[in-house]
Amino acid sequence: MAPVATPFFFYLFAAIMLIGGILVITQKNAVHSALALIVLLLAQASIYLMLYAPFVAGAQIILYAGGIMVLFLFVIMLVSIERSMKERQFNSQWLVGIVAATALGGLFIAVYLKGKNIFPDHVLPVVENDNTQKVATLLYGQYMFAFEIASLLLLVAIIGAVVMAKKRI
Amino acid sequence: MTDPNTTLSPLELESHDKTYLDANELVINMGPQHPATHGVLRVILRLDGEKVLGLECVIGYLHRGVEKIGEHRTYTMFNPYVDRMDYVAAVSNGLGYCETVEKLLNVEAPPRAQHVRVILTELNRIASHQLWLGTHALDIGAITPLFYTFRDREEILKIYEKYCGARLTTHAFRIGGLQYETYTGFEKEVTNFLNFFRPKIDEYEELLTTNRIWVERTKNVGTISAEDCIALGVTGPVLRASGVKWDIRKAQPYANYKNLDFEIPVGENGDTYDRYLVRMAEMRQSVHIIQQAVEALPEGPIMAKVPKVMKPAAGEIYHSIEAPKGELGYFIVSDGSTQPYRLRVRPPSFVNLQALDVMCRGQLVADVIAVIGTLDIVLGEVDR
Amino acid sequence: MESMLHITTLHYLVLGAALFLLGVIGVLTRRNVVIVLMSIELILNAVNLNLVAFSRIWGPVNGQVFAIFIITDAAAEAAVGLGILIAFFRNKETVNIDEVNLLKW
Amino acid sequence: MGAIIQYVQSYLDPNVKVTPGAAGNLFWALVYIMLVFGGLSVAVIAMNWLERKILAHMQVRLGPMRVGPHGLLQPIADAIKLLLKEDIMPAEADGLVFWMAPLIVVLAAFTVFVVVPFGPTHAITDMNIGILFMLGVSSLSVLGIVMAGWASNSHYPLIGALRSSAQMVSYEVAMGLAVVSAILMTSLNAEGTGTLSMIGIVQAQLAQHEWFIFKFFPLGLVAFFIFAVAMVAETNRAPFDLAEAESELTAGFHTEYSGFRWSLFFLAEYSAMIAVSSIAVTLWLGGWLRPFPNLLNGTPWDQIFSLFPGVTFLFFAAICFYNTVRMPKHPLFRIQTIGLAGFGVVLGLIGLILFVPPVSVRIQDIFWFSSKVAGFMYLYIWYRGTFPRYRFDQLMQMGWKVLLPMGLGVLILTASVALLQQKIWHP
C-alpha cells in the first residue's frame, strides 16, 4: 500500500525546503541562515523516508543536523558576526551570479524536458525492512575500498581542522 | 610567578595584547552576585577559552569601616563589633581582640577563663572548617557534604547558644576573662559532642577523600609554593598545606595553648587537595585539644581584675592569634584615653585573597571556583 | 492535475535542481564565508536528493551508498572549511570573503 | 465508536495479539501518542517530586513537606508558579532564536519516544532504523542548547552552551560505539542478520535467551558501562552537569530563561533522561522482558510474575496508609491526612485493577520496562547526591581518551568473538 498522503507531504516538505533554501542564502544573520538550513535538512530527511531510504534519513539527521550544523553554529558563535551583519551582504558580481545560475537552471529544464520519458513510470515494490542491510552489504562489500578512503579523508580532515584552528600547536 | 606578564594587571594585559587579535578571548565579570564567590567578591577574569590568563579582585562591597568605628568606641564597646568581621569564626575574633586589650592593660585572664576560651575557640575552628568544607564541596559540585556539615555544626551552635545565648555573633568573651560562668553540664555536653563528632569526620572523608572526581578536581589545582606563600603573607591552612610548619598556637603561644599537646598538620604540594587534607586533620587536632582542655578544666574565678573604665597607658601593641583562616592580628595604638587612638586589623582572609591571582593563572575557570573555595575567605573580614 | 498529484521521479529531480541553483546563487553572490559554506552544503544535499531518487527508481541502493559517502565528504569539508575560517578570522577579524585576496598574511 | 469498542475488546483478550502501533494504523498511532505523552508528562512530574524527596533523604533533610501531604502537590504548585511567572526576554536577545530554542529542545526530547518499545505491541511505531532515529533525534537537542546560549547574548549562557555542545558531541561518539557493539549482538542468529529496530533488538535478546548485558561476559557489561557513563554526560546531569554548573556559570545556557520557557528546558531534561534510559534498557537490559525468563519459566512462574504490577501498587498504597496513620492528630493536619489516605486508596484501586487477569497480562511489558527505567532514574538521583562535578578538560579527556578507546576495543572484541562463535564453535 502506498503511503496515504504522499503528494501532500511531498509538496509540504518541498515547500519547506525551498523556503529554507531561499532563507539560507538571503538572511543577514548567519545564525538565522543556519537555522533555515537545519529545517531544510530535516525536511530533506523526511523526503528520504518517503523515498524508502530510512538509513540515509537517519544518517542525515545524525551527521548533518546533529553534527555538521552544530559545528557551524559553534563557529558562528566564535567569530563575532555583528560586524558582518552591518556590511553589504552581496558581493559585486551578484548580477553575474544570478545570470549564470539562471542559465544553469535553463539547462536543467531543457534536459528534464528532453529526458522526461526515460525514467520508468512504475514504482518498484519495496521491502522496507532490508534497506539497512542492502546499504551495509554494498558499503562493506562492493565499496569497501571507497569506504576506507572515506575514513582516511575524515582523518585528514580532522588533522587539517586542528592545524588550521589551533593557535599554538 | 616567573611569567613576566604577571606584573601587569589583567586589564593592562588586555591592551598589551591588542595587536594580536584573538577570536577566543573573553573578559568576564564574576560576581559580586555569584553563587560561588562566597559573598560579594567580584572577580574580573580574562579568559582564553576556558583558560585563565589573569584575574583581578574587586572588593569593598561589604565595607563597614569597622576599624574606624573602633576609634570612636571605648575598648569594651568595640568588643561586639569584631564578631561581625569573620562571622563564621566570631569567637576567634573576640579572643584576639580581648587578648590584645588585655596585653595593653597588662592583665591576664584567670586559668579557668583561658581553658573555656580554648574550648570555645577550638569548637569555633571546627565550625568554621565545617562551613568551609560544605561550601567548598558545593562549589566543586558535591551537594551532599554541605548538609552533613551543617547538621553537625548545629551541635556546636547549640553549645554556644546555651553558653551565651547567641549562635553566630556570640560575643562570648570579655576583656579580662569571661562574662558568664559555664552552664551546668557544659563539660559533659562538649565531651558528648566530641564523641559524636569523631565518626562524623570519617563520614566526610568517606564521601570525599578517596572520591576519584574529588581528587581529580583538587589535586594540582591552585598550587602555590611555600616561597610565594611567605612572599604574599599567606597564613593559616593555606600556608601549612604548602609545607611551612607555622602555627601561631605553637610559635607564639597564647591563651594556654603551651600546656596543650597537639600537632600541626602540614601538606606537601600546596594544592587544593592538600589544603583539604590539612583542614580535615586540623579538625581532628581540634577535637584532641578540646578533649584535653575539658579534662583539665580548673575551678576558680573567670574574670581578672579589670578597671571599670579602661584607660590603658599610651603606647601601641600588636597581638595575633591563629584564627581558623590564618593569622588574625590586632594593632592598637593607645593615647591613654578610653578609646583607641588607632585600631587596625590584620584579617587572614584579606591577605590570603591576594594569592588568588597567583594560584589561578593558567588554570581553568572551574578551578577559580575551587581556589576561591579553598582559600576559605569570608567577605565580612576581607572588606571589614 | 492528475500528474501533479502523482509524484514521479521528475518531481524529486526538479526539487533537487532548485536546491542546487539556490546553492549556486548563494556561493556566487554572498560575502559571508559561513553562508558560502552553507550554500555548498545545499549543493551537496541537492546531489544527495537526486542520488536517492535514482536509487528509488532503479532498485539497487548504490545511490544511497553514494549519498552516505557525500555526507561523509560534507563533514570533512565543513570541518576543514570552518577551521580555515577560524584561522582567517583570527588574522583579519572579518568573515568577508572579498577580503581573501592575498596569498599570504 | 464501534471500532473503538472492538479494539478495546481485542486489547483485553490475551489471545489476540494486535499490534496497535504498526505503520499505517494512523488512528491507533494517534491514540498511542496521546497515551505516551500523557504518561511522559506524569512521569516527569513524579520524577520532579521523587528527585527532591530522595535527594533530601540522602542529605538528612525532609524535602518538600508543605504543599499537600509530604509535598505531593509540590510539582503542581511549581508548574502553576512557572506558568504564571513573567516571561522575560533580554532586550539584546535575538528574539526568534531565543523563542525557538526551548521548543527545539522539547521537540527533540519528546520525539524520540515515538520508537520506544514499552512492549512488543506497546509502541507508537516500530521503525526500521529505530535506534538510529533515537540517537539522531536526541542529538538534535544540542542545537536547541547552542541556540539558547547564543540567543541570550550574554557570557555565561554562551560558555554554558559551548561547553554542553562540545560535551554532547564528544560523548555521542563513545555512545554510538557502545550501541554498535550491542547491535552487532543482534545479528547472532541463523541468518546472520541484525536489526536496528527497537522491538527487533529486544526480540533478539528473547531469541538468544540472554540479555545483552551478560552476552560475551564481560564485553556486554563493558559496553553497557560505556553507555551508562555517556548517557549521563549526554543529558547534562551530575557529575557531568558542567553546562549548567550552578557554582560556575550560574545556570549555564538557560541563565536568561524564566517562567514557561525555562520549564520547557526542565521538561526536556527529564524526558531526555527517560529517553536515554529507555535506550539502555532496550539494548542491554532486555527491554520489556521480565527477569529470569529462562531460569524461572513455566506457567506458575508466569503467574507469579504477573502479580508484580499489582503488588507494587499495593505496596505504594500501604506506604501511604502507614504514613496516614503516622500523621499528627492535630486538626490542622486533617485535610492533609484525608488527602494522603485518598491518594493511598487511588493507588490501591489501581493495584487491584492490575490484578484482573487480562489487564495484568497486558500490563506486564509496560511494568517491567518502566521499572527498569525507574532504576536508572534512581541512579541519576544517586549520582547527583554523591559526586562532585568534573572539570571540562577532565570530562573531555574521559570521553576521548578513556571511553572512546574502550568503545573501539569492545566493538572489535565483540565482532571477533561473534565471528569466532559463528565460524568455529557453531559452524
* Predicted confidence (pLDDT) per residue in D169-207, tens digit: 888 888 889 998 888 888 887 777 778 888 888 888 888
Spell out which residues of chain A touch residue D149, defining contact as CB-CB under 8 Å. 77
Q: Is residue C35 part of a domain?
A: yes
Residue C103 within any structural domain of the chain: no
In a domain? residue C105: no
Q: How confident is the model at residue C1 (pLDDT cuts 50, 70, 90)?
A: very low
Q: Does B21 touch chain C (CB under 8 A)?
A: yes
Q: Do A78 and B22 touch (CB under 8 A)?
A: no
Q: For the range D54-63, what are the long-range contacts, defined as Cβ-Cβ under 8 Å and sequence gap of 24 or more? A: D54/D378, D54/D381, D54/D385, D55/B143, D55/D381, D55/D384, D55/D385, D58/B144, D58/D381, D58/D382, D58/D385, D59/B143, D59/B144, D59/B146, D59/B147, D59/B148, D59/D385, D60/B147, D60/B148, D60/B151, D61/B147
| Residue C14's CATH number | 1.10.287.3510
- Partner-chain residue, chosen from A1, A29, A61, that has the shortest CB–CB distance to D136: A61
% chain D with pLDDT above 70: 91
Which pLDDT score, from 0 to 100, does residue D154 have? 79
**pLDDT tens for each residue of A30-65:** 888 888 998 899 899 988 888 888 888 888 888 888
Q: What's the CA gap between C19 and D299, in Å, rounded?
A: 61
Q: Is the pLDDT of residue D300 over 70?
A: yes
Quick one: pLDDT at residue A149?
92
A152 pLDDT band, cuts 50/70/90, is very high
**pTM exceeds 0.80:** yes
Confidence class for position A124, pLDDT limits 50, 70, 90: low
Enumerate domains of chain B plus CATH numbers: 4-58 (no CATH), 66-383 (1.10.645.10)
CA B328 and chain centroid, separation: 8
Average pLDDT, chain D: 83
| Chain A contact probe: residue of D97, D140, D195, D408 with most A CBs at under 10 A | D140
Question: Around B219, how many Cα atoms within 13 Å sit in the side-chain half-sphere?
Answer: 10
Residue C63 is placed in which grid cell?
545511490
Number of domains, chain C = 1
For an interface test with C, the pick among B17, B20, B21 (most C C-beta atoms closer than 10 Å) comes out as B21
Mean predicted lDDT score pLDDT of chain A:
81
What's residue D186's pLDDT? Answer: 85
Domain range for C61 is 2-97
**C-alpha distance from B148 to closest chain D C-alpha (Å):** 7
Within 8 A of C90 by CB-CB distance, chain B residues are 21-23
Cβ-defined contact of A78 to B24 (cutoff 8 Å): yes
Instruction: Please state, in angstroms and rounded to a whole number, the distance separating the CA atoms of residues C82 and A164.
Output: 9
Mean pLDDT confidence for A110-138: 74
Q: What is the ipTM of this complex?
A: 0.79
Mean pLDDT across the stretch D373-398? 87
Q: Is residue C12 part of a domain?
A: yes
The arithmetic mean of pLDDT across residues D290-318, rounded, is 83
What pLDDT is stored for residue D318 in this prediction?
92
Looking at residue A19, what is its pLDDT? Answer: 92
Interface of A with D (CB under 8 A): 1, 4, 29, 31-32, 35, 38, 54-55, 57-59, 61-62, 65-67, 69-70, 73-74, 76-77, 128-129, 131-133
Residue C72, in any domain of the structure: yes
From CA B319, how far away is CA B314, in angstroms rounded?
16
Residues of B with Cβ-Cβ distance to D55 under 8 angstroms = 143
Task: Average the pLDDT over each of A108-122, D89-103, D123-137, D158-172 and give the range with the smallest value.
Answer: A108-122
- Is residue C20, in this structure, part of any structural domain at all? yes
C102 in any annotated domain = no
Q: Provide the pLDDT for residue A4.
A: 44
pLDDT of D114 higher than 70: yes
Mean pLDDT of all residues in D43-58: 89
Residue pair B174/B301 in contact (Cβ under 8 Å)? The answer is no
Q: Is residue C71 part of a domain?
A: yes
Instruction: State how far the Cα of D295 lies from the Cα of B87, in Å rounded to an integer.
Output: 64
C101 touches chain B (CB under 8 A): no
User: What pLDDT shows up at residue B2?
Assistant: 42
| pLDDT value of position C103 | 66
Q: Is D97's Cβ below 8 Å from some Cβ in A?
A: yes
The overall average pLDDT reported for chain C is 82
How far is Cα D263 from Cα D82, in angstroms, rounded to an integer? Answer: 7
Name chain C contacts of A88, Cβ cutoff 8 Å: 31
Chain segment A58-98, per-residue pLDDT in tens = 888 888 888 888 888 888 877 766 666 677 777 777 788 88
Q: Distance between CA D251 and CA D129 in Å, rounded?
A: 36
Q: Which regions of chain B are under pLDDT 50?
A: 1-8, 10-23
User: Which pLDDT score, from 0 to 100, does residue B16 have?
Assistant: 47
pLDDT of residue A126: 62
What average pLDDT does this structure show over D90-97? Answer: 82
Which residue in chain B is spatially nearest to D160 when comparing CA positions? B50
